[in-house]
């Protein structure tokens, strides 16, 4: 099919939740590269929004999916699943959690975290502790509960009334958080590095104070690491940057390397609040997803891709800062590892994104003023140099 035929088919039959998409359709990918219908090559600096951590068509991931699909794809969680048990073990042995539950997405993992926090206190004899405090500019998903947890009105306003008993406070304001805590609060839920609002890292001192406050008040600390976890920020988990450990954290995106899977990870004794019948999923933790997850996570760990993320992230940010000095369009470069946002003085983010597409580079935009880069963890200095050259040309014309 031609691109025009695909667009026409999409507009006729697909629910219009994405509006007019970028005018490109890809046919295959390898490493950092994607090829469109006409054979044009693009370098992927968005990685499916932080999903394709290994790049495209990584042999370890492809082989794991093919081998498992040839055996069988799905069976019920009524039965024991080898790849599910092995992936849970791999996460536990490389993180601070004790138990794992697998879902199909980050939103589902976050729903599970919300349920677990509320159930934990109910089973401890405190059914009135069910309020959850989140941060402004956060993003936790598009289900009704995770929308309520999300601290951005633009995602919420058309779906009210939302799931009750969520409230948001400003990031890096410990006094505001302390004022918001009541006898009904069961948890604080936050992204240590916010992604969807334009890459906003929390202050180290603030996160340490949040952990201390949660301990003092007897409430749980939940980290949403759906986007910032698994090597994205230069460490295996974002919580490692802050010298604290959450009681619960969630993963998704990079966990399957492109295959849908999410994970709810919890420490004991919180994890044990979930007992038979308290939570479940038909597809969550299926053999194919867990085989993909095991291959992707094993590769991140064994190839130490989190270290490449740290080194390449520092280099990338340094090169972007050199453009800041050269042009007056950049207000701020921020991020950690390969989770980078560039805020512009002018509302040119969408224009820059489109110009990058024309130049063969895929990036994201947040609102009118922020461009976002989330390249695969395999990105090289040469890849970054190529992108910086293209961006330099674009800024020069702007």
Catalytic residues: 139, 224, 253
Structure tokens at 286: 């299926």
Alpha helices in the chain (DSSP H): 3-13, 47-50, 59-71, 82-93, 106-123, 144-149, 153-156, 174-180, 204-217, 287-302, 305-326, 349-358, 381-397
Structure tokens at 288: 């194919």
Contacts of 213 (CB under 8 A, 6+ apart): 174, 177, 178, 181, 188
Structure tokens at 214: 């949660």
Identify the DSSP state of 201: E
Give the number of other CB atoms < 10 A from CB of residue 108: 25
CA separation for the pair 68, 72 (Å, rounded): 6
The two most distant CA atoms of the chain are separated, in Å, by 64
Q: How does strand 248-251 pair with strand 220-224?
A: parallel
CA separation for the pair 168, 216 (Å, rounded): 20
CA separation for the pair 376, 52 (Å, rounded): 6
Q: Quick one: three-class SS letters along 236-283?
A: CCHHHHCCCCCCEEEECHHHHECECCEEEEECCCHHHHCCCCCCCCCC
CA separation for the pair 144, 136 (Å, rounded): 17
Contacts of 131 (CB under 8 A, 6+ apart): 165, 166, 167, 182, 184, 185, 186
Cβ contact 278:272 at 8 Å? no
Across the beta sheet with 339-344, the strand order is 330-336, 339-344, 370-373, 364-366
Give the number of other CB atoms < 10 A from CB of residue 220: 24
């Amino acid at each position: 099919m031609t691109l025009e035929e695909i667009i026409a088919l999409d507009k006729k039959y697909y629910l219009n939740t994405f509006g007019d998409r970028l005018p490109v359709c890809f046919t295959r990918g390898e490493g950092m590269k994607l090829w469109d219908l006409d054979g044009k090559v693009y370098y992927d600096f968005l990685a499916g929004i932080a999903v394709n951590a290994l790049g495209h068509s990584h042999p370890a991931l492809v082989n794991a999916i093919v081998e498992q699909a040839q055996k069988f794809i799905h069976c019920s969680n009524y039965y024991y699943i080898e790849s599910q048990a092995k992936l849970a073990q791999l996460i536990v042995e490389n993180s601070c959690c004790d138990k794992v539950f697998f879902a199909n997405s980050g939103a589902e993992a976050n729903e599970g975290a919300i349920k677990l926090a509320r159930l934990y206190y109910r089973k401890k004899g405190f059914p009135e502790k069910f309020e959850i405090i989140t941060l402004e500019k956060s993003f936790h998903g598009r289900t009704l509960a995770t929308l309520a947890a999300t601290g951005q009105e633009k995602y919420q306003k058309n779906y009210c009334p939302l799931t009750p008993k969520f409230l948001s406070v400003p990031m890096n304001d410990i006094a505001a958080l302390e004022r918001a805590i009541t006898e009904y609060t069961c948890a604080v839920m936050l992204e240590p590095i916010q992604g969807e609002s334009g890459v906003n890292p929390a202050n180290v001192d603030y996160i340490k104070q949040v952990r201390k406050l949660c301990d003092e008040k007897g409430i749980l600390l939940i980290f949403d690491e759906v986007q910032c976890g698994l090597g994205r920020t230069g460490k295996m988990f974002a919580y490692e940057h802050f010298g604290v450990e959450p009681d619960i954290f969630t993963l998704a995106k990079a966990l399957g390397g492109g295959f849908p899977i999410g994970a709810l990870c919890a420490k004991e004794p919180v994890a044990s609040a979930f007992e038979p019948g308290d939570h479940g999923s038909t597809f969550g933790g299926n053999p194919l997803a867990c085989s993909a997850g095991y291959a992707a996570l094993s590769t991140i760990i064994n190839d130490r891709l989190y270290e490449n993320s740290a080194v390449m992230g520092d280099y990338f940010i340094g090169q972007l800062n050199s453009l800041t000095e050269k042009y007056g369009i950049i207000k701020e470069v921020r991020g950690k590892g390969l989770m980078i946002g560039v805020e512009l003085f002018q509302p040119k983010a969408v224009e820059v994104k489109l110009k990058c597409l024309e130049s063969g580079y895929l990036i994201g935009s947040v609102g009118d003023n922020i461009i976002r880069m989330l390249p695969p963890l395999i990105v090289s200095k040469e890849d970054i140099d190529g992108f910086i050259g293209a961006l330099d040309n674009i800024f020069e014309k702007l």
